[in-house]
Amino acid sequence: MRTCIICYTTIYPQDEVEILLPNPSIIHKPNNILGRYKWFPSNYCFTCLEMCKSHIWKTYIHNLENAHCNTITRDILNIPIPLWLTDNMTINGRPIKALYYRGQMISSKLYTNMNDFDYYHLQEKIKKMQMEFQNGIQKAIHDRENITTIFQNMAI
């Protein structure tokens, strides 16, 4: 039996979650599409994974809204927009492709309410802001307020 590394509760076999990740043993054989991903046991319980789906997004927005200096804002803008759970719940983790829990395949996407258009729009905004950070801070601050509004409308 496993123990969830976030909440320390025991995960009984019937409650185990599996996560779909790139298969390390086949990663250098690009033609083998079927074997490219593999299910691994999760170190987190289902409840914590679900909590992370909304918590990670909310934290990202909160940090962006409350960045108290331009360096921090720039740093936040330089990380990729978080869209998926990762295997270690950090920005450096490998994105989880899907979850498997109690006989069901479940999405590993964060709860953001973003569609493809929103995401594209947001990426364009962020690219523009990154350029403005290089050119002049004042304009970037103004845009940061705009982007915060977009985020707020998308977050649930």
> Would you say 51 or 61 has its CB closer to Zn ion?
51
Beta strand ranges found along 35-129 (DSSP E):
37-41, 99-101, 104-106
Strand partners, 37: 22
User: With binding defined as CB under 5 A, does residue 49 bind Zn ion?
Assistant: no
CB burial of residue 61 (10 Å; 0-12, 13-18, 19+): middle
Q: Which of 19, 21, 45, 147 binds Zn ion (CB under 5 A)?
A: 45
Question: In the bound complex, what is the minimum distance in angstroms from residue 63's beta carbon to Zn ion?
Answer: 23
Question: In the bound complex, what is the minimum distance in angstroms from residue 92's beta carbon to Zn ion?
Answer: 21
> 23: Cβ–Cβ under 8 A, 6 or more apart, which residues?
35, 36, 37, 38
User: With binding defined as CB under 5 A, does residue 48 bind Zn ion?
Assistant: yes
Amino acid identity, position 7: C
Q: Which two tokens stand for residue 109?
A: 């996407």
Stretch that binds Zn ion, among 41-49, 103-111, 114-122, 125-133 (CB under 5 A): 41-49
Question: In the bound complex, what is the minimum distance in angstroms from residue 109's beta carbon to Zn ion?
Answer: 19
Using CB under 5 A, list all residues that contact Zn ion: 4, 6-7, 45, 48
